[in-house]
Amino acid sequence: MFVLGIDPGLSRCGYGGVRQLGSATEFVTAGVIKTPPSEPTPQRLLTLRRDIRELIEEFSPDAVAVERVLFQVNVSTAMGVGQASGVALIEAADYGCEIAEYSPNQIKLAVAGHGSANKEEIATMVKMLLGLSQPLKYTDTADALATALCHLAFSTSRTSSHTANRTANRTASKV
């Protein structure tokens, strides 16, 4: 199973891909999609959409896992994160990927073992879990990889219900 994790953001949108082969999990890709704050929001969203679409087309993920925004102090930041999240969700849906959203606490619990882990702990755990020799350059990539790892941790229990729902939805749409 290949999972593309997304840490949504309008200025910096982190992405990270991991593949699970049996009980082994391997790092595949990670990076950041950047959009200039000086550009109008619609152009930035278009850039983000194009780049996310290219990632999905290149890697053909089985699932796309997105960090869900629960609370932001800065309203304009929350709006941008929500818009970026929407772009990622619609591109994954358009491609037909399994889609999952996880709260920051779920991600921290799955990767670090507790819901109050800080950014440094998450980055350290991601590096350790994936056997990376170098630290990740951006916290956005660590968060995206953590989101993908979270999906792998939860996917065992979700796979059977998701497959049943997807089959039911396809059957219902053919009627």
User: What's residue 80's pLDDT?
Assistant: 87
| Contact call for residues 111 and 124 (beta carbons, < 8 A) | no
Tokens of 101: 């959203």
Tokens of 70: 């629960």
SS3 assignment for 110-172: HHHCCCCCCHHHHHHHHHHHHCCCCCCCCHHHHHHHHHHHHHHHHHHHHHHHHHHHHHHHHHH
Q: What type of residue sits at position 58?
A: E
- Choice between 5 and 70, residue whose per-residue pLDDT is larger: 5
User: What's residue 77's pLDDT?
Assistant: 77
**Any idea which fold 2-170 has?**
Nucleotidyltransferase; domain 5 (3.30.420)
Q: How does DSSP classify residue 69?
A: P
User: What's residue 160's pLDDT?
Assistant: 40
User: What's residue 71's pLDDT?
Assistant: 65
| Contact call for residues 51 and 29 (beta carbons, < 8 A) | no
- Over 50: is that where the pLDDT of 172 sits? no
Flag whether the pTM goes above 0.85.
yes
Q: What type of residue sits at position 53?
A: R
Tokens of 1: 């199973």
The 10s digit of each residue's pLDDT in 20-49 is: 998 899 999 999 999 999 999 999 999 999
User: What's residue 34's pLDDT?
Assistant: 97
- Choice between 78 and 140, residue whose per-residue pLDDT is larger: 140
- ∠ CA 78-50-163 to the nearest 5 degrees? 80
Strands 12-21, 2-7: pairing kind? antiparallel
Question: Which residues participate in catalysis according to the annotation?
Answer: 7, 67, 140
- Choice between 175 and 33, residue whose per-residue pLDDT is larger: 33
